[in-house]
Structure 1
Amino acid sequence: MKQHLLCIYLLCLSWTVLSAQNKFPKAFKMLVLKPDTAILEKSLYPETDSIVMGYKQRYYQQLRQMDELMNFQDFPKELKKSMEKEKTALIKAVEVMKSKEPEIKQFKYFHAISAYSSEFYNTYYNEYKPIAEVLEWPNQSTKLSDLASLAIAQNADYVLFFENIHTEIREEWPLLKLKTTIYSKKESKIIFSEETIGDHLSEGGQWTCDAILHCLFVNGVKTSTELVFPF
C-alpha cells in the first residue's frame, strides 16, 4: 500500500514538474457538452450497463485513492516538504471530486464520449503551462445563439459538442460514427466540424478497451481527438 501511494504521489509530482515548461502560447477554457443520446445496434444494448458500471467504479476507486493519499504520512523525508505544499491542492481536488457524485449517479452510457474526451484534452493540453481548463458540461441547445450565450456566461473560449452518434454494421462488425463540432467565442462561429469513425478493436496503451461497445466509444473518441488536438 505504501509503495502504491508513493507511486501515485510521484506521478502527480512529475506532472507538476512537466507543467513548468511552456509549450502553448495561451491558456483557454473549453466546455465539452454531454451528448443527449446515441443510436446503437440492438445487439449492443446489453453492454450499456457495463459502460455505466465501469465508469462509476472508476470514479469511486479514484476517490478512495485520493483520500488515502491525502491521509498518507509515511513519505521519505526528502518528499515531506513538497508533499505538504501539494496537500492543499489535493484537498481541493477531493472536494471537487466529491461534489460531482450526484452527477456521477446520473451518468448515461453515451456520456462516455464526452467523459473520455474531456479526460484526453485535460491530459494533453495541460502537459505544459499555461494550463487549459476543459470542463464536461450538461447538454444544451447547439444553436449558434445558444452556444454564444453559453460561452459568454461561462467565459469559455470554445464549446465542443457531438452530434449523430450512431453505430453501423460493416462487414459483420459494428462501427461508431459521430460528428465533433467546435464553436469559437472569439470568432462567433463554428470553426471545426468533422465526422469520424471508431472501430471495435483495442488499440492498446491509453486506448485499451475490453468489450465491443467500450472499444467503439474509446476509438470514437480517439479518432475525434486526433483531429481536434491541437486545433
Structure 2
Amino acid sequence: MRNIFLLIIFLSQLTFSQGKHKKTFRMVFMAPETIEVPTELSQYKDSIVNNRVKGFYGEKEKLKELIAFTDYPEEMKSDYEESKKDWKIQLKYMDSIEPTIKFYEFYNDMLYSVSILNMAFNEYEPYSEIKGIEYSKETEDDFESYCTKNNVDYFMFIENFVISKSENDYTMTSNLKLYSLKEKKVIVEKVINGDTKSHGDMWTCGNPLSCLMITTVKDALKNVIPEIVKRQR
C-alpha cells in the first residue's frame, strides 16, 4: 500500500502564489492510523473511496490523451515534447501504484495536505520535496530518528481524531504536530477543528465526512504554512 497516498497529488489542480527566491526543504506528512467514524457517517466512506478511485483512472486517461496528442502548432513542438516527458513519468508512476488502489482507505484523504503543500511551495523551481507516507507507530513515537535517517526537515502529523455531534451537525477535533529537525523540537502543536461546511474552491467537499477531513486540513495548513515560510526565507 506504500506510495498510494501520493495519488492525491495527481488528483488536484490547485494554485498558490509564492516568490521565486526561496530555500528548498524536505517535508513528510504521515497519514493517520485511522479515524473512528460514528455509525451515521459510515455511509460516506465508500463514496469517498469510490470518488478517489474514479479520479485516479480519470487522471490516468487524461495523461494518455495528452501523450498521444499530436495536433499542435509546429512552434509549440519543443515545449509540448518537453511536457510529454513529465506526463510519461507521471503515467509510469500511476501504473506502478495501480495494483494498490483497492487498498485505499477513506482517511487517506487527509493526505490532501500533501497536494496543497506542494502547490504552496512548488509553483516555481527550485522545488522542495514534499511527500506523504503511510502510518507507522515507530515513526510516530520518534520523529527525530525518522527525520535524521531520511534527511527530512519537517515532519507533519495529525492524530487523536474525535467526531462529535451537536444537534444535527458534526465537528471534528484533532491534534496537529509539526516537527523541525533543525530545531529538534515540535514547532507547532495545536488542537485543530473541522466542520461539515464546504468552503468552495480548493476546500469544496461533497458530504459531511469528506468536509470534516477537508476543513481539518484547511485549519492545519493555516497554522503550518506560515511557520515554514518564515523559516525558509
Please tell me the TM-score bracket, short chain as reference. Answer: 0.7 to 0.9
Deviation at residue 142 of structure 1 after TM alignment: 5.8
Show the counterpart of 1:168: 164
Structure 2 distance, partners of 1:136, 1:143, is 13
Q: 1:179 aligns with which of 175, 178, 181?
A: 175
2:218 aligned to 211, 215, 222, which one?
222
CA distance in 1, matches of 2:92, 2:103: 19
Which of 195, 205, 209 aligns to 1:209? It is 205
Structure 2 Cα separation of the partners of residues 176 and 100 of structure 1: 31
- Over aligned residues, Cα RMSD in angstroms? 2.1
1:193 to 175, 178, 189: 189
Aligned pair partner of 1:139 in 135, 142, 158 = 135
Checking the alignment, whether the CA contact within 8 Å between 1:141 and 1:147 is kept in structure 2 is: no
Shift of 1:144: 7.2
Correspondence 1:47 to 2:44: yes
Superposed, which structure 2 residues align to 1:79-118 within 5 Å? 79-113=76-110, 115-118=111-114
| Contact kept? 1:159, 1:182, Cα under 8 Å | yes
Look up the match of 1:159: 155
- Structure 1: gaps of 5 or more residues: 1-11
Judged with a 3 Å threshold, the aligned counterparts in structure 2 of structure 1 residues 168 and 107 are, in CA distance, closer, same or farther, namely same
Letter in 1 for 2:107: F
| Number of matched pairs | 213
**Alpha-carbon deviations, 1:82-119, whole Å to 9, x = none?**
11122222211221222222443321111111x21111
SS at match of 1:229: helix
Report the Cα offset of residue 74 of structure 1: 1.0
CA displacement at 1:171 relative to structure 2: 3.6
Deviation at 1:160, TM superposition (A): 0.9
Secondary structure class of the residue paired with 1:230: helix
Candidates 116, 121, 134, aligned match of 1:120: 116
